[in-house]
Chain A
Amino acid sequence: MNQVAMPNKLLDVQNLKQYFHPGQENEVRAVDNVSFHIYEGETFGLVGESGCGKSTTGRSIIRLYHPTDGEIYFNGEDISKLKGKKNMQQFRRDIQMIYQDPYASLNPRMKVQDIIAEGIDIHGLAESDADRNQQVNDLLELVGLDKSHATRYPHEFSGGQRQRIGIARALAVQPRFIICDEPISALDVSIQAQVVNLLQELQRKKNLTYLFIAHDLSMVKYISDRIGVMHFGKLVEVGTSEEVYRFGLHPYTESLLSAIPLPDPDYERNRRRVTYQAPKEDGKERSLKEIASGHYIYCSDDEVPFYQKKLEQKKRQ
């Protein structure tokens, strides 16, 4: 997909900082001055080290936290300034999140049908009980579960089945934007393929926009138009998924790419992993700089030529 066809920035995150216990001894800078945007109809993949702030970014967008600093615009509106019950309700419906920990995010005392229909009820999306049931059954089918599952409780499901309940719940309110926090890592590869195909089909049909957080780089590459690589609360590289995969420049990106496991025992026996050591603090000011059209690296001004050369070299190989 190219940017000309989708100029509307549905989500625009500017200089987002999300600190926990700011100013205290145990301060955690979970998200530290991060800026990116997502065009309507696009999938933006977010990858990076465990604990680098991906989920926190998602939770800030969905207003579970008050940002320490920075702005988040959804459809042109600053989400911290949304006023009135109606606007809030619309926002809550437009943005949905599929959570990383499916069990912790499902109310154990609710039947699956009520979990899925919660949003339908809140937003009054069902005309009658029969319609509500029909919608729930359709959603169950959509995510590859069975009607008979509707009356079960979350603990009666396998890990992957629970994850699909979370997906059905997110889809129930017909959102415009979905934050998918590791939506598929608990699923077997065939169901992963089904869910990814499903997400893509819904995207085509309903022009949905996704923020797709994941560790499985081959899947992220496959599903994303653009990718952001995060490390320690900062975005260190952003580019089209093709560019980041083939010509990832930041040393952390290189280390991630070198660690992707492949289903091939011989390859695995001989794998060479590049480890990443964060450089020592040198006092230089760094930010995301455009190295080539649409390809950004977190670096200082004087490192720009170095990365440009590195990119040229990689492209020549």
Chain B
Amino acid sequence: MKKILEVDDLHISFDTFAGKVQAIRGVSFDLYKGETLAIVGESGSGKSVTTRTIMRLLANNGHIDQGKILFKGEDLVHKTEREMQKIRGKEIAMIFQDPMTSLDPTMNIGNQVAESLRKHKKVSKKEALASALELLKLVGIPNAEQRLKNYPHQFSGGQRQRIVIAIALICYPEILIADEPTTALDVTIQAQIIELMKEIQQKIQTSIIFITHDLGVVANVADRVAVMYGGRIIEVGTSDEIFYHPQHPYTWGLLSSMPTLEMEENELYAIPGSPPDLLDPPKGDAFYPRNEYALKIDTLEAPPFFEVSPTHQAATWLLAPHAPKVTPPKEIVRRWRLYEQKTGLKQTALN
């Protein structure tokens, strides 16, 4: 498969009142043409910062300290703002996490969607408005025709989000970065939007980076999944590998925290402790203070990536050649057994 984006050893920090926040501490990943890569992970782990940096939309107090972002062979890190303006919205589009902040409160939505097309394509105002209307209908704005002249505050949270999605899609971008695009939507509309995104992806081979906390949605959309923690990717693999054969204790914790519709317990499992202090990140593995499977070496040295399969890597010392064998939590054992059945691979740790 063809690589369209390559992020290599990205380091990003922010200057704040309290000191330097080391938000991204060495992130590398590839994005292939036509695939959907989901990024999941703890709130504050750096999902938005990483993807905003791809768009070169970093806050004023942020710096790219190190690393490359290769898009079709060119390093976006060294592009000027003018060069980026040609790429942004046209070749790489982003659906932002806060729909309200990416909409202009003083412009009606018909014009807003049309504008974003006219910025990059030479079309008449009338044509642009017609395309806008079509797309607004596609994303499911009821009575779209009558509501073209409405302003953002006159729409519900989910409707605003759909308007933002329309803006991102109108130029048919090569890469679509969707930061929590469906979080504000109910499950039925969410399903529609996801189907719409898949349809457009099929049509024009868009590559999608899909950030979400909803692991159910990930299971539905993702070809591959990257899991982030404390400014790093700690596990990456195909959707099946992450859901049925996860290796990192943080991934285990995430998959164990979901309520199931049948559950009877009166308290949910939550990963104990709090996220790492990025002003002063721990020397070893950032997850070790919260990790019941931590080894002594975790306190000393951050684990490198160990290969589980050619498509699956995890940064945990548990995968080191001489690490002790541990039995993962109940929910994970259940998933590993499913993986055994699916692939016929035996799990030594389960015996």
Which residues does A use to contact B, with CB under 8 Å?
A: 20, 25-26, 28, 47-52, 55, 100-104, 144, 146, 148, 151-152, 155-161, 182, 185-194, 196-197, 200, 215-219, 221-222, 245, 255-256, 259-268, 271, 273, 275-276
Contact = CB atoms under 8 A, between A and B. Distances in A.
Contacts of B253: 190
Contacts of B345: none
Given A103-B100, A221-B259, 13 more contacts: A51-B155, A52-B186, A103-B98, A146-B277, A188-B43, A189-B254, A190-B254, A218-B259, A259-B190, A261-B219, A263-B215, A263-B258, A273-B191
B17 A189 contact: no
A8 B180 CA distance: 39
B276 to A, nearest CB: 10
B217 to A, nearest CB: 5
Interface residues of B, number: 72
A268 B216 contact: yes
Nearest to A196: B268
A197 B185 contact: no
B185 A215 contact: yes
Contacts of A192: 213, 257
Contact of A191 (B17, B43, B154): B43
A260 B190 CA distance: 10
Contacts of B269: 193
A261 B182 CA distance: 12
Q: Which 10 A-B pairs have the closest CB atoms?
A: A50-B158, A261-B216, A160-B43, A263-B215, A193-B268, A193-B270, A259-B187, A51-B156, A268-B220, A222-B259
Contacts of B159: 50-51
Contact of A268 (B219, B257, B342): B219
B109 to A, nearest CB: 13
Given A50-B158, A186-B97, A265-B243, A259 B191 contact: yes
B213 A50 contact: no
A215 B185 CA distance: 7
Among B142, B186, B214, find the residue whose CB has the most chain A CB atoms closer than 10 A.
B186
Contacts of A264: 216, 219, 243
Given A47-B186, A160-B43, A262-B216, A182 B277 contact: no
Contact of B100 (A26, A47, A104, A200): A104
Contacts of B48: 158-159
B14 A156 contact: yes
Interface in B24-62: 40-45, 48, 59, 61
Nearest to A195: B270
A44 B8 CA distance: 47
